[in-house]
């Protein structure tokens, strides 16, 4: 029997650069305006393995920033002004960048080669750092794996979005999957995921990939209840119609046990407080058992670690997908103000801007819809009680800008507890909707069962009651 020799690490290692592709990419950009636009729009500095190529690329970018055409003369002049001409082996090397260039039309192929080699270098860097952490003996395995997932996300999630560039409307139509008919007459699969709230779906068409749905509310309004209802509604639909998808909820404030209690008790129609006290009747216990089985079968995953960053959320989503083989079709976050930024910031506004930018990048790169809760600034006791508006979002500028839909939960009874007529009344205020109208949706809130329900505009308000609760 012939045995094959296992390739060692020094036996023909995969090359981590392609110097011809680097040179041809720069050479094409130097002699052709369209190629220069393509390169500067889709290539980053780290795509080049040689320092002199990175210096030349930075000089090209600097010329483009001041709207100076890139050619042999202007490029050499810029490098000389920066004191970098000798660092790139002088005029002779710069003017020879396009020597042997096969075809300028191949520029996308050259860029693709650079992107692949850059990814290999990133992977090697991550693996070397991983080896160092393992051999140090300082870190636990979970810390190392979490760090690895975070590093992979931060290193590779930008590739697709950074390589898109500017695309004409004609090109977009031409390359749309399924062609013009699919674009103008989308099938059901291209429509949003229903939220389970009819009027809300009519306004927004449900959850869409690459979009952020922000739900804001004052403390004790029921924003977590609302998020869990939406997450459960979507998970139920996935269970029946899309078995390859699931929902991930990141509860940064509430424990997994508390989330479980709320889900089960609402499904079983029993008060959470009596469930926690162990004061359920025999019939209620049966309903809880049935509800537990039902909830357990849902493709719904709950994480309850506090203070996560966007990249840590992304890595945990990836972990769920790897372990289950299911695609996470909705990511819920409760709530944005207690997330962490990529680094420590001196003020909350800068931290929120960093988090908002991270969320926006994540939804675009992952092509997942995000359902994000936001705390509202507390109303002063001296202020006139009013419904929330966009400026009530804490650090509203950054959060408002990234959101496709912003809705507020409003329960006036929180501020006027003595008014019996307000009990159980609620509204969902759609304050921003990029692709549709805004509206105020009348709802009810059943406190004992922690449940929101829409009421039709023609219907009458009749809050649900439950006797013998306590």
Res. 414 pLDDT band, cuts 50 70 90: confident
The pLDDT assigned to 412 comes to 85
Angle between helices 282-296 and 256-268 (to 10 degrees): 120
Res. 458 pLDDT band, cuts 50 70 90: very low
Greater pLDDT, 432 or 182: 432
Res. 232 pLDDT band, cuts 50 70 90: very high
CA angle 158, 164, 169 (to 5 degrees): 150
| Res. 348: pLDDT tops 90 | no
Greater pLDDT, 312 or 153: 312
CA distances from 283 to 269, 280, 289 (A): 11, 8, 10
Enter the DSSP assignment of 378: P
Greater pLDDT, 273 or 457: 273
Q: How far apart are CA 150 and CA 312, in angstroms?
A: 6
* Backbone φ/ψ region at 424: left (φ over 0), alpha (ψ -120 to 50), beta: left
| Res. 142: pLDDT tops 90 | no
Q: Which of 117-121, 384-388, 393-397, 404-408 has the highest mean pLDDT?
A: 404-408
> Span 380-399, mean pLDDT?
71
Res. 166 pLDDT band, cuts 50 70 90: low
CA angle 363, 364, 366 (to 5 degrees): 65
Contact residues for 466 (Cβ-Cβ < 8 A; gap 6+): 269, 271, 446, 448, 449
What are residue 244's phi and psi, to 5 degrees? -90, 10
Res. 464 pLDDT band, cuts 50 70 90: very low
| Res. 100: pLDDT tops 70 | yes
Domains and CATH numbers, the chain: 19-111 (1.10.860.10), 188-454 (3.40.50.300)
Per-residue buried b or exposed e for 9-37, using 16+ beta carbons within 10 Å of the residue's own CB: eeeeeeeebbeebbbbbbbbbbebeebbe
The pLDDT assigned to 455 comes to 83
131-135, 165-169, 265-269, 454-458: lowest mean pLDDT where?
165-169
What is the average pLDDT value for the chain, to the nearest integer?
82
SS3 305: coil
Write the pLDDT tens digit of every residue in 117-139: 988 888 888 888 888 888 888 77
Surface-to-core class of residue 135, CB atoms within 10 Å of its CB (0-12 exposed, 13-18 middle, 19+ buried): exposed
The sheet with strand 405-410 has its strands ordered as 300-303, 245-251, 327-334, 370-375, 212-217, 405-410, 425-433, 439-446, 451-454
CA distances from 83 to 69, 78, 80, 380 (A): 20, 9, 5, 59
């Amino acid at each position: 029997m012939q045995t094959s020799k296992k390739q060692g690490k020094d036996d023909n290692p995969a090359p981590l650069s392609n110097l011809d592709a680097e040179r041809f990419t720069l050479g094409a950009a130097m002699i052709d305006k369209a190629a220069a636009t393509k390169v500067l729009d889709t290539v980053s500095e780290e795509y080049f393995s040689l320092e002199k190529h990175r210096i030349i690329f930075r000089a090209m970018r600097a010329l483009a920033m001041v709207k100076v055409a890139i050619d042999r003369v202007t490029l050499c002049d810029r490098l000389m002004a920066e004191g970098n001409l000798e660092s790139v082996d002088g005029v002779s090397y710069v003017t020879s960048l396009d020597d042997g260039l096969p075809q300028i039309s191949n520029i996308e192929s050259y860029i693709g080669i650079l992107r692949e080699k850059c990814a290999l270098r990133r992977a090697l860097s991550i693996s070397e750092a991983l080896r160092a952490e393992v051999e140090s003996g300082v870190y636990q395995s979970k810390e190392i794996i979490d760090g690895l997932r975070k590093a992979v996300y931060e290193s590779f999630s930008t590739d697709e979005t950074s390589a898109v560039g500017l695309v004409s409307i004609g090109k977009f139509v031409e390359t749309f999957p399924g062609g013009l008919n699919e674009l103008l007459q989308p099938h059901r699969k291209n429509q949003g995921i229903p939220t389970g709230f009819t009027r809300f779906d009519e306004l927004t068409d449900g959850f869409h990939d690459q979009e952020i749905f922000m739900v804001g509310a004052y403390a004790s309004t029921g924003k977590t209840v609302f998020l869990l209802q939406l997450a459960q509604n979507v998970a139920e639909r996935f269970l029946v119609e899309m078995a390859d998808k699931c929902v991930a909820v990141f509860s940064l404030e509430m424990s997994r046990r508390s989330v479980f209690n709320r889900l089960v008790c609402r499904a079983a129609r029993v008060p959470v407080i009596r469930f926690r006290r162990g004061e359920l009747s025999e019939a209620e216990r049966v309903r809880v058992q049935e509800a537990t089985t039902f909830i357990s079968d849902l493709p719904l995953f709950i994480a309850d670690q506090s203070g996560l960053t966007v990249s840590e959320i992304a890595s945990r989503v990836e972990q769920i997908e790897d372990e289950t083989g299911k695609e996470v079709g909705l990511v819920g976050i409760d709530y944005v103000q207690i997330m962490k930024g990529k680094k420590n910031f001196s003020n909350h506004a800068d931290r929120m801007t960093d988090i908002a930018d991270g969320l926006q990048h994540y939804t675009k790169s992952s092509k997942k819809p995000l359902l994000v809760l936001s705390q509202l600034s507390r109303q002063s006791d001296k202020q006139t009680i009013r419904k929330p508006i966009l400026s009530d979002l804490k650090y509203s500028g950054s959060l408002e800008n990234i959101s496709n839909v912003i809705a507020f939960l409003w329960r006036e009874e929180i501020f006027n507890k003595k008014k019996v007529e307000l009990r159980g009344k609620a509204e969902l205020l759609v304050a921003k909707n990029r692709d549709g109208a805004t509206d105020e949706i009348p709802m009810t809130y059943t406190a004992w069962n922690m449940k929101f329900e829409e009421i039709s505009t023609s219907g009458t308000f009749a809050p649900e009651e439950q006797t013998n609760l306590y």
